[in-house]
Structure 1
Amino acid sequence: MANPAPLTVGPNRNRINAAFTLGLFAILGALAFEHIGGLYPCPLCLEQRWPYYVGLPALALLIFGWEKLNQHVRVGISVGVAGLFAWGTWLGVYHSGVEWGIFEGPQSCVGIGDVAVSMDMLGDLGGVRIIPCDAVQFELFGISLAGFNAIVSATIVVLLVMSIWGQVSRKA
């Protein structure tokens, strides 16, 4: 009886595509809420966008360079982007907790602490809207945008982890 070929594990392109598409729709939705819907992001909202700004181009590189990249590079990019979105998940959960009053938000974001400003600085702030991180600007089914970001980011992490470990095949 012949020995079976060793198992190989590698990224699944369809799940990578799904993670990219979900992330793209999420960040475009956030930008639409801001620029079309008039919802101004708080500092935590802006920080939650970084996994999209860094991770989506990396996934695009992976998708469009799929045939030219070796297996180890594919896995490395997938793991790195999964790590970014795991951080994004944590940020979304933390921000949701700040909104619900479970966690204290950063002092720069919830209006706690002393701020020293000069009169010259105040003259430049005429058109600036400052949104505190504990203010929910939009909610659907009891979930804020930060909560939706946590869900989307976690789903992207799951898709990427499934991509890496889910496709097990035997080389002939």
Structure 2
Amino acid sequence: MILTHRALIVLAAAGSALLMVGAFGFQHIGGMPPCKLCLWQRYPHVAAIVIGLVAFALPRASLALAGAVAALTTTGIAFYHTGVERAWWAGPSSCSSTSPAGVSTDALFDQIMAAPVIRCDEVPWEMFGLSMASWNMLASLGLAVVWLAAAWRIRKQA
């Protein structure tokens, strides 16, 4: 069965949407808040979903290539995160935050100390020896291939 370029676009965008549903499920149902790198992996998926909506209405090879870039971006971030989890390299040294206006130093310190620390180098869940970041890396790489196939089909039709 040969999929049309629109079917490939839907498949790729839906794949990103399902990965986002999974991420929110782990966060809100599974009680596993995301670390900084987990959050970074979400942004390209959101971009891919938006690109998919536009590309479905206006099928352009350039839009499908943009979807592939989004998928490859999250693949790269997930690869970096996997490396941090496996201690192949160091992760981000700190998270950025701003001090709310009108809060005393002591009150701010108490808020910081009460907040849970979500570490990027700890694996809260794994399946078959792969963490969520590793699974995201593999799935996103597959989605990039689907986006590239859509771009190829669109170009072939032109």
Q: Per the alignment, do residues 57 and 147 of structure 1 end up closer, same or farther by CA in structure 2, a change over 3 Å counting? A: same
Distance, in Å, in 2 between the alignment partners of 1:136 and 1:155 is: 23
Matched, 1:45 2:34: no
Q: Map residues 65-104 of structure 1 onto 2, 5 A cutoff.
A: 65=57, 69=58, 74-104=60-90
Which amino acid letter does the alignment assign opposite residue 105 of structure 1? G
After TM superposition, give the deviation of residue 168 of structure 1 in Å. 6.7
TM-score (normalizing by structure 2): 0.84
Cα deviations by residue, 1:44-72 (Å, 9 ceiling, x for unpaired): 00000001122202212222x2xxx3x5x
Structure with the greater relative contact order (CA < 8 A, sep ≥ 6): 1 or 2? 1
Q: 2:145 aligns with which of 158, 165, 169?
A: 158
Which amino acid letter does the alignment assign opposite residue 14 of structure 2? T
Distance, in Å, in 2 between the alignment partners of 1:160 and 1:136 is: 29
Structure 1 runs not aligned, ≥5 long: 1-10, 110-117
Q: Which residue matches 2:26?
A: 33
Structure 2 residue matching 1:124: 3-state secondary structure:
helix
Q: Per the alignment, do residues 143 and 170 of structure 1 end up closer, same or farther by CA in structure 2, a change over 3 Å counting? A: closer
Q: 2:93 aligns with which of 100, 107, 118?
A: 107
TM-score (normalizing by structure 1): 0.77
**Count of residue pairs brought into register by the alignment:** 146
Distance, in Å, in 2 between the alignment partners of 1:55 and 1:77 is: 10
Q: Per the alignment, do residues 137 and 75 of structure 1 end up closer, same or farther by CA in structure 2, a change over 3 Å counting? A: same
Cα deviations by residue, 1:2-39 (Å, 9 ceiling, x for unpaired): xxxxxxxxx81111111112111111000010011000
Which amino acid letter does the alignment assign opposite residue 75 of structure 1? A
1:23–1:56 Cα contact (<8 Å) kept: yes
Which amino acid letter does the alignment assign opposite residue 136 of structure 2? N
Moved over 4 A (4+): 166-171
More helix by share: 2
1:40–1:129 Cα contact (<8 Å) kept: no
Q: Per the alignment, do residues 126 and 168 of structure 1 end up closer, same or farther by CA in structure 2, a change over 3 Å counting? A: closer
- Sequence identity percentage: 30
Deviates more, 1:142-151 or 1:15-24: 15-24
Structure 2 runs not aligned, ≥5 long: 96-104
Which amino acid letter does the alignment assign opposite residue 75 of structure 2? T
After TM superposition, give the deviation of residue 103 of structure 1 in Å. 1.4
Structure of larger gyration radius: 1
After TM superposition, give the deviation of residue 159 of structure 1 in Å. 0.3
